[in-house]
Structure 1
């Protein structure tokens, strides 16, 4: 599939500090574990024997590893460097606020990323990657959920391959994977020629069923044991990904994924904190919050523009 690109890096071993237990209880008794509940061992098999098939862990990125949408943080940095207009970054901010309040929708993801692809036409891949490095150092590294980091480290310590599976551009997914010591990343591939973006998409956007297809293709290429492997996601759109492995787990789930997980007995991990998790499920004040968030961005952008004009 055209949307799959593989980047292999040497994973760094970490202390075994996390465990996800497979749900054995009835659906209405599926527990929600919080960050301080995380125990001592990764799910799935131990490090494979010489004749055993390799085991992997697949992590969604946005709101699973990183709080919020990584594409928004990248878009904000690109706007600051003249890639986007004010109305584009305001729209991205609005979509980010809506994502934090309600979770993602397929239409929302497609709209934002299609617009972003168009706006990146003619820009250098190397330039975007360099900006991505800065965004990781200045923003993303501060937004990693400690609980998810423990799970990722535990999988590495258990000898599992660790793959990020994200709708974010694959270059950014690979960057995050490299910084986390993961094996690699599967992400959306933006077309480019001679090192410059063309504004086109290569293959499918890495979202929904495309994630499952990419993981299954990777499993064939690397002879992975998916029944012994694990997957983590936050959105109902991650259900196809979660369903490809023997050890699925919902992390910081949106309301639909939470309900689905409880119904079929998938374990749930909540790393946002009880207060944040409760707020996300409350829609009564959400649109007011969106207007407030968008207003903050508009004021911030306006001040920045005025500051530039005043120089």
Structure 2
């Protein structure tokens, strides 16, 4: 049994759950869409270029949640995932997950999106274990701040190694599937890296390194 690790956004799903959630918050009236959505797009463009300070994005994207309870947000997230995210799940992704389950591999999603989003999508995908950006709560309400190491770039490696130690697991024979140049630090540490719909920088690296390049669109 090996670990089969998956990025979420633009890998398992055809889109970014954080940006889609931002658009949904505008529909809910939680944010002013005319100002919030363009700012979200600007920050996500920096992400695509590998230039985003994730702390800046999280401070921005979590601001509408300040003072809301986790239960209140979860009540809204569940139908959001069903109506918006589920249609975006790649059929090839589901087949890949099924193959790894059939082989007895342990499935893990590690994502640079907020845990409340990633865990809800993972449940739809039938994946029980998740590493994502954890949110701070004060007196039962979201504070707008994050907790611990952010699962972004090298932070994914840091969080994964802590999880491996906690779980008594290793990266021997591990797979990792991702679309993004931002995941090169982790892709470079597993035995079986796979690129999925890779961005140009990751595609060039994969071609040079001889990594598999998968098209799940």
Q: What TM-score comes out, normalization by structure 2 length?
A: 0.91
Consecutive unaligned residues of structure 1, counting only runs of 5 or more, are 1-47, 49-54, 273-311
For residues 129-208 of structure 1, the aligned pairs below 5 Å read 129-208=74-153
Q: 2:178 matched to 1:233?
A: yes
Structure 1 pair 110–255 and aligned structure 2 pair: CA distance change class (3 A): farther
Q: How many residues align?
A: 216
Which SS does the other structure have where 2:52 is aligned? helix
Aligned residue in 2 for 1:58: 5
Aligned residue in 1 for 2:48: 103
Q: Which moved more, 1:65-74 or 1:116-125?
A: 116-125
The whole-number CA distance in structure 2 between the counterparts of 1:179 and 1:74 is 16
Structure 1 pair 72–154 and aligned structure 2 pair: CA distance change class (3 A): same
The whole-number CA distance in structure 2 between the counterparts of 1:132 and 1:241 is 29
The whole-number CA distance in structure 1 between the counterparts of 2:58 and 2:98 is 30
Q: What TM-score comes out, normalization by structure 1 length?
A: 0.65
CA RMSD of aligned residues (A): 1.9
The whole-number CA distance in structure 2 between the counterparts of 1:130 and 1:85 is 21
Aligned residue in 1 for 2:36: 88
Deviation at 1:95, TM superposition (A): 5.0
Consecutive unaligned residues of structure 2, counting only runs of 5 or more, are none
The whole-number CA distance in structure 1 between the counterparts of 2:179 and 2:82 is 24
- Highest relative contact order (Cα 8 Å, sep 6+), 1 or 2? 1
The whole-number CA distance in structure 2 between the counterparts of 1:141 and 1:80 is 18
Deviation at 1:94, TM superposition (A): 5.3
> Does the CA contact (< 8 Å) of 1:163 and 1:177 recur in 2?
no
The whole-number CA distance in structure 2 between the counterparts of 1:192 and 1:104 is 31
Deviation at 1:259, TM superposition (A): 0.6
> Does the CA contact (< 8 Å) of 2:149 and 2:159 recur in 1?
no
Aligned partner of 1:215 among 154, 160, 164: 160
Deviation at 1:109, TM superposition (A): 4.7
Deviation at 1:110, TM superposition (A): 4.5
Which SS does the other structure have where 1:152 is aligned? helix
Q: Which has the larger radius of gyration?
A: 1
Structure 1 pair 184–209 and aligned structure 2 pair: CA distance change class (3 A): same
The whole-number CA distance in structure 1 between the counterparts of 2:84 and 2:63 is 24
Aligned residue in 2 for 1:270: 215
Which SS does the other structure have where 1:162 is aligned? strand
> Does the CA contact (< 8 Å) of 1:190 and 1:201 recur in 2?
yes
Aligned residue in 2 for 1:298: none
The whole-number CA distance in structure 2 between the counterparts of 1:142 and 1:185 is 21
Structure 1 pair 118–137 and aligned structure 2 pair: CA distance change class (3 A): same
> Does the CA contact (< 8 Å) of 2:149 and 2:158 recur in 1?
no
Q: 2:28 matched to 1:76?
A: no
